[in-house]
Structure 1
């Protein structure tokens, strides 16, 4: 796993932590997620004109994943309203690799070796330990983050199966799946009105700019993961991607001034150990 593909997935982890920090750093996370989705939708709308149509077998997975991603976006916004980045992010990401591994075994008949299984357990356990440091996680915050983790696992398994049915066209699969992100601005307008979407361009242009940038980073981050799942085991790819919590802890400490204790750093070491197991 820790070949060229593993290195690229680690890059995706850095990118994933970065766009989550951009989202969490904005005061209005619903607005920020909506503008991220607009950026993703615009890029996808342009790209699909230059790519072949997805294989017919992949379409049910594209549709299902696109809709689950919208649920994920809304759930992620809710979880960030109830906890800081260093708590909500690890719970959401840490709960998914084990679920992905289980889902891949059931629906894709994937088998995984003992060492890789240990790596997944270490990564998941370390990530959950990161979130529980200090005991400041509310029940509502933990539930919102766990719900987000479940949606992550669902769309990861869907995409892992779907991209393998796309005749090697991972980029095409990804672009069409991301087209569903146009649903997010419709949801925002339905809840707050069109003026609430456009007014921040005048009042908070920097926040909108960071959201648009976050959307572009998000495309690269998850596009890499979908590409990697064409040949890599879903659970292993998912777990390696979730090492992003280490980068999230660093970003939260440096840029968002969130405290990082010695115990939290130890949990990061456990996560890194799990990544090494995946690479052996």
Structure 2
């Protein structure tokens, strides 16, 4: 992983945590994800007019990824509606990197050198530390339905990460792949919202439109950077580095949602930095 790729993934982490915070900040989660997904579909439609068309080999992965992203968004909505952002976001993201390491080894045949493996392990330890922060306190524990939804979200993240990692390499065009992915998966939640909230949906969307569309732009930009990086480095280190968004999410939770940051999160951030350094080590 070169410094340029690492910088792109770190930027993606910041933008990803930001759009998740926007989604969490809109109380009606269906409204939030309708705006973000629908805005992403519009951006994808425009980009598809200018980007090369993905190669045929990428389309099974595009379809599979769209389905996985729909499940991911539904689970994320569920976890955000049940628990604190500062706990649900770390749990959802923190379970993914090690799963990606296993899935990439089994299905893609990627193996890590000792430095990359150590970096993924150390970074994952930091992520788990953030995910478990505060759960010693009975008052701070999430309800079990929220915890299960967040863990299931992490599994879905690992699944679509590997699917997209292979698909974008098959596509021949990262821009074309992200454009069609956003167009496919971004249309599903707005269509459901039209069915479920057929009376007064526009009135519910209007007060949050600007913020939701900003979230859509951040969402598309974040994942476009990750997909580009996946064409230039192994999947597992990218997945671990991308989840540094957990540290950003914890900071956002502390500043904007008045949730505690705490010493354990500072320690987890330190482990993330060490892990990043190991992943960037050149043998």
TM over 0.5: yes
Q: Is the 8 A contact 2:254 2:260 kept in 1?
A: yes
How do 1:205-216 and structure 2 match up within 5 A? Answer: 205=207, 207-216=208-217
Q: Is the 8 A contact 2:100 2:235 kept in 1?
A: yes
Q: Is the 8 A contact 2:35 2:205 kept in 1?
A: no
Per-residue CA distance 1:122-142 (angstroms, 9 max, x = gap): 222221221222212332221
Q: Is the 8 A contact 2:118 2:275 kept in 1?
A: yes
Per-residue CA distance 1:54-86 (angstroms, 9 max, x = gap): 101111111111111111111110011121111
The gaps in structure 1 that reach 5 residues or longer are none
Please name the residue that 1:90 is paired with.
90
Q: Distance in 2 between matches of 1:201 and 1:77?
A: 16
Q: TM-score, normalised by structure 2?
A: 0.94
Comparing 130-139 and 158-167, the one that deviates more: 130-139
Please name the residue that 2:122 is paired with.
122
The gaps in structure 2 that reach 5 residues or longer are 136-140
Please name the residue that 2:27 is paired with.
27
- Is the aligned partner of 1:248 residue 2:249? yes
Q: What secondary structure, in the 3-state scheme, does the structure 2 residue paired with 1:194 have?
A: coil
- Is the aligned partner of 1:178 residue 2:179? no
Q: Is the 8 A contact 1:200 1:208 kept in 2?
A: no
CA shift for structure 1 position 229: 0.4
Q: Is the 8 A contact 2:52 2:175 kept in 1?
A: no
Per-residue CA distance 1:215-252 (angstroms, 9 max, x = gap): 11000000100010012100111110000111111111
Please name the residue that 1:263 is paired with.
264
4+ residue segments displaced more than 3 Å:
none
Per-residue CA distance 1:146-193 (angstroms, 9 max, x = gap): 1000110111000100111112x10001111111210111112222x2
> Number of matched residues?
275
Per-residue CA distance 1:92-140 (angstroms, 9 max, x = gap): 1110011111111111100101221121122222212212222123322
Please name the residue that 1:99 is paired with.
99
Distance 1:276 1:69, change over 3 A: same
Q: Distance in 1 between matches of 2:227 and 2:201?
A: 30
Please name the residue that 1:16 is paired with.
16
Q: Is the 8 A contact 1:94 1:123 kept in 2?
A: no
- Is the aligned partner of 1:194 residue 2:198? yes
Q: What secondary structure, in the 3-state scheme, does the structure 1 residue paired with 2:133 have?
A: helix
CA shift for structure 1 position 195: 2.9
Comparing 238-247 and 249-258, the one that deviates more: 249-258
- Is the aligned partner of 1:142 residue 2:147? yes
Q: Is the 8 A contact 1:2 1:278 kept in 2?
A: no
Q: Is the 8 A contact 1:76 1:145 kept in 2?
A: yes
1:160 to 161, 165, 169: 165
Please name the residue that 1:56 is paired with.
56
Q: TM-score, normalised by structure 1?
A: 0.95
Q: Distance in 2 between matches of 1:138 and 1:128?
A: 18
Distance 1:196 1:113, change over 3 A: farther
Distance 1:208 1:263, change over 3 A: same
Distance 1:252 1:57, change over 3 A: same
